[in-house]
Amino acid sequence: MKIIKKKSELKELLYSLSNQKIGFVPTMGALHAGHISLIKASKSRCDLTICSIYVNPTQFSSQKDLRNYPTDAKKDIKLLKKHHCDILFIPNDFELYENNLKSNEFDLNNFDKFMEGEYRPGHFQGVATVVTKLFKIVSPDIAFFGEKDLQQLIIIKYISKELDLKIVSVPTVREKNGIALSSRNINLTKDSFKSATIIFESLCYCRDHINKYDIVTLKNKVKKLFESSKLNLEYLEFVSIKTMHPVDVICDNLAICIAATIENIRLIDNIIINAEETN
């Protein structure tokens, strides 16, 4: 695996490989089996797989959250080599932003109005900024994103519409107990990890009782469950995947999205209930 830090070097290399189908997996590192499923998806569809690792400051609304974001470059490199990733791009802030560490302003079609967009102001402008910068450098044929970050996936699909690029989504990889794999899970104590199973359990409860109770009742039941847990529920929303806006009756293209914190660690998850093909 080639490890590249400079965008000029990566561009040069890619120029010399111009007839290959390029798959791209952007990440923030602290890699786990969820990320690896994206690498595998890329390897199965492309000639050359490029992974990037960059913890993007402009998508963090809290400096403390940014400082606490886990990193483990050595382990990441070992894991990517094991799974035969071809190129790892690890830029620094200057490579991507030069001296202007700020987001650009994107039209996000109001996909960022609720949930993560509401709780993390500016988050998706930061994501859109870094992803378009990376797309410009890598020029992939296909870029791979996880359903785990559903709102992000929908936003990236939207901003990529004008680009000559396909976005492929990959299902969420979970622990045996249902918790979605996340880099942030590293920061959970054993106890918190156990308690966090309530997140996926709540999503499954809603999915399994969707024909029995209305949305308000389901939300209230989950709120009560959280009140007797160690987690603080930020939101539970039933949304249309077409708009990423909350709905109050069951409809087609429905997803249930949740965010909760435990010991200042923020976890998000979702279940897609019924959707037309997401890819």
User: Which residues form the interface with ligand AMP (CB under 6 A)?
Assistant: 27-28, 34-35, 37-38, 145-146, 148-149, 170, 172-173, 180-183
Looking up tokens 């102001």 gives: 121
Please state the closest distance from residue 76 (CB atom) to ligand AMP, in A: 10
Please state the closest distance from residue 30 (CB atom) to ligand AMP, in A: 7
Q: Which is nearer to ligand AMP, 182 or 278 (CB)?
A: 182
Q: Which is nearer to ligand AMP, 160 or 182 (CB)?
A: 182
260 neighbors 232 (Cβ within 8 angstroms): yes
Strands (E) in the chain, as ranges, are 2-4, 22-27, 48-53, 87-89, 142-146, 166-170, 232-240, 254-262, 265-274
Comparing CA positions, the residue from 25, 31, 41, 30 lying closest to residue 170 is 41
Q: Which residues are CB-contacts of 220 (< 8 A; sequence separation ≥ 6)? A: none
Please state the closest distance from residue 226 (CB atom) to ligand AMP, in A: 21
Sign of the Cα torsion 66, 235, 108, 183 reads positive
Q: Within a 10 A sphere around the Cβ of 40, how many other Cβ atoms?
A: 17
The values of phi and psi at residue 74, to 5°, are -60, -50
Q: Which is nearer to ligand AMP, 152 or 218 (CB)?
A: 152
Please state the closest distance from residue 172 (CB atom) to ligand AMP, in A: 4
For this structure, is 35 an active site residue?
Answer: yes
Q: Which is nearer to ligand AMP, 142 or 173 (CB)?
A: 173
Tell me which of 32, 35, 83, 209 is the catalytic residue.
35
| Residues with catalytic function | 35
